[in-house]
Structure 1
Amino acid sequence: PTPPTAPAPPTAPNPAHETLQFTIDTTLREPTIVLDPTHDTGDDTNDNLTRINKPVFIIGNVDNDVSHIVVHIDGRDYTIENTGGNLAFTPDQPLSDGQHTISVTVTDIAGNTKTSAELQIEIDTQVQIDSVTLTTDSGVNDHDNVTNATRPSFEIATPDDVTSVLVSFDGVNWTPISKNAAGQWEFTAGSALP
């Protein structure tokens, strides 16, 4: 007789292996944004006051893996490219006179996002002279701008942010003047006028 046979064991599955390399990235530096010092005009080049209405801003602390950069100016967004290092940005439209709030947001390839501290700047493209007064006005009417003084004196009133005033009698030769004890710009002709 034929001996009994056991069924063949099931074929074991062939194991499969796959290796996945991945990176965990949770770090991102906070970017900075400042007014380009060469565009901070006036006597103080660190006061964020400028007469340039399309100023240049410098963006720093941008990591190499940043893939998205957005500059925010008063709620309007400008997207710029990460070209590495410190980045320069100029708005495409002039900014109006007055205060403006600027910040920058960066996002890296891992999806981390950081926003800079807000930068407050002021655009001031206008200057005005409030009044010019002949202080040596003589005669019956002392407000008619008629004087017998051959070296007349004047007071010039300006807004508080005016830091220098030049005067001229001929439109060619300009002389800087200073403020008097009352805080008014004051000028007396250096020689007798014809």
Structure 2
Amino acid sequence: MANSDTFVPLNIAVLTISDSRGPAEDTSGQYLTDQANAAGHHVVERRLLPDDVYLIRALVARWVADSRIHVVLITGGTGFHERDSTPEAVAPLFDKLIDGFGEEFRRLSADDIGSSTIQSRALGGLSNHTVVFCLPGSTGACTLGWEGILRQQLDSRHRPCNFSALVNRKPERPLHRLDDALDTWSNHGTD
């Protein structure tokens, strides 16, 4: 295990959920990507998906099964609009809920938006030694979440605790083995 003075970069996947934005308008996903890279981490995947519970769940499930990915940052789809489905998509994948993430995000956002913070469904969880954080879609909310919580919690030097040691214990499972297993399973019984 690294000592408190050693920075251990994490591999991060960034997902933006939006029915109306394309890559050029994805300021929130770009912000998270820029900040993660500037902090010394590696953004190894970045995607934009429509607000569809099954597409979101499928991609996040693939990412948490990938031994290269330690962290998934999701922006968008956390509100109460009819199509907002990020929490419903990812919560079933969690082994453990990170209750404090949503609580702290709402506490911090109350300074900016007052009681409207109760409408934030920001959440975090642990899935297969991968931490997953779901933030609202605005760049301001992503800034608040990154600066107020994530920058420190993803830094191996932050004390008294951080998520680096936990996610760096992720079992090695090359993605090609996952693909082989899925292919074997999907072809089972077709002969």
TM-score under structure 1 length normalisation: 0.23
- Larger strand share, 1 or 2: 1
Structure 2 length-normalised TM: 0.23
Higher relative contact order (CA 8 A, sep 6+): 2
Task: Identify the structure with the greater helix proportion.
Answer: 2
